[in-house]
Structure 1
Amino acid sequence: MLFTDNLSPEELAILSNIIAIELSKDRTASEISVIASFLSAVGDIMEVIAAQREYLEELEEKASECKNKENNKKEG
């Protein structure tokens, strides 16, 4: 369970703004750009991980369904 589980979409947007503003304080434009690029890369990699997990879970479910159908045919 994440802390975000209890936030509305609007509250999450506000939190994102606050974090961005705080991370940008007292930094040069170049530093902000590096931080933004880094966080963007982290987010992209997390998307790849999530997509692969979903795909593998889907494959596992399909394999399980096939086994169940085969077992039902043998029993019936």
Structure 2
Amino acid sequence: MFLKGLYLLKAYQKEGIGRELFLRARGQAKKRGATTLYIEVLKANPTLEFYQKFGAQLVEENVLQIGTRVLPEVILGLQLKE
């Protein structure tokens, strides 16, 4: 199962909202029988460490092209335990 990342407006960061959304997404993935949750996030995103705190590890590096812009991104994998 894939999560394309979570983005919150600056005014709502550091309030636990992202954490709650992520925990719910992880819970839904488990509920649907997924064994791994893959998370796509821009490599330059300062919140990349957020996912790593939950145990997500680098699986692959890609580039995302939006129009003429090429943005490095990473795919993290989080093993979902029972």
TM-score range, shorter chain: 0.3 to 0.5
Highest relative contact order (Cα 8 Å, sep 6+), 1 or 2? Answer: 2
Query: Which of the two has greater strand per residue?
Result: 2
TM-score between both structures, scaled by the size of structure 1: 0.36
